[in-house]
Amino acid sequence: MNHDDCLFCKIAAGKIPSKKVYEDDEFYAFHDIRPAAPVHVLVIPRQHIEALSNCGLQEAPLLGRMMTLLPRLAAQLGVDYTGGNTGFRTVINTGPGGGQEVYHLHAHILGGPGPWLRMG
C-alpha cells in the first residue's frame, strides 16, 4: 500500500479527524473509533510500515521507543499498572490471520474495567 492511500497516514497528517491522545515527531496516538474496551487507543509511528512482520533490525530503535511510549500513555489514560488488579493490555495485530485491518503498524492500548478482560 502506498502511504498516500493509508488511512492511518492520513489521520497522522491531520487529513482525517481523530480524537488525539498524543503526538510527537515520531508517533501519533488516538482513540479507536470502534473501542473494544473502556479505554482503547491506537499508537502509530508516523513512518509508514505496513506490519510488524515488515520490521527488521533497522526498525528496532523505533519499536523500542514505541514500546516505552505505551506505558506512559497508559498512565496518562489512567489504566497503568500500579499494583493490585490494575493494568492494561497491548496488542499488535499482524496480517489477516492476526486480525490486522489497517496495514500501517499500530499498537492497541486497552484498559479499564469490564468483560473485555476475558478476551484471549
**What is the set of active-site residues?**
106
Could you tell me how far CA 106 lies from the centroid of its own chain? 4
Report the C-alpha gap between 72 and 20 in whole angstroms: 15
CB 4 within 8 A of CB 68: no
Show the cell assigned to 65: 521507543
Show the cell assigned to 40: 482503547
CB 27 within 8 A of CB 45: yes
